[in-house]
Amino acid sequence: MGEVMAMIGSVAGGVALALGCALAHASADDPGRSLYSAYCSDCHYERVHQRVREASAVKNLADLRAVVERRAGYTKHAFTAEEIEQVTRYLNREYYKLPEARPGR
Ligand code: HEC
């Protein structure tokens, strides 16, 4: 019985690992995108992010992160720092295309 449980445990671990890798690489299943559509789209469509740069409150990646952080406080979800980062990256990748400060990302 112990052996069977150990086997089930390692199979489940393998599946979780594979799933984690798949999520990390798939941009279609972007956690930032899911968070945005779950919590941020009550007030605005994503069209608000397609403004010309001069009209936008966002001039660089630090601005974008600051806005996301502030907006996150308006939602009913308690965003973690990691989730803020995921949403920031998602919006940047999809809309703002600001240069990322950190190299290699
Ligand atoms: C309570 C309503 C509300 C919620 C919820 C909300 N926003 Fe907003 N958001 C606004 C308003 C209002 C503006 C300003 C629109 C304007 O300037 O005309 C805005 C603007 C923005 C901008 C700046 C757009 C630009 O380029 O000028 C970003 C980025 C943004 N929101 C991200 C988010 C994110 C990410 C979330 C979820 C964490 C979110 N918002 C949730 C109301 C909201």
* Ligand 1 atom closest to Cα of residue 39: 37
Prediction pTM value: 0.74
87: exposed, middle or buried (Cβ count in 10 Å: 0-12, 13-18, 19+): buried
Instruction: Let me know how long the chain is.
Output: 105
pLDDT, tens digit, 9 for 90 and up, residues 34-92: 999 999 988 887 778 887 777 888 999 999 999 999 999 999 999 999 999 999 999 99
Q: Residue 27 in 3-state DSSP? A: coil
* Ligand 1 atom closest to Cα of residue 49: 26
Give the residue whose CA is nearest to atom 2 of ligand 1: 43
16 lines ligand 1 (CB under 6 A): no
The reported pLDDT for the residue numbered 5 is 56
28 CA distance to ligand 1 middle (Å): 22
Block residue for tokens 């990646």:
61
Domains of the chain: 30-96 (1.10.760)
What distance in Å separates the CA atoms of residue 81 and residue 10, rounded to the nearest whole number?
31
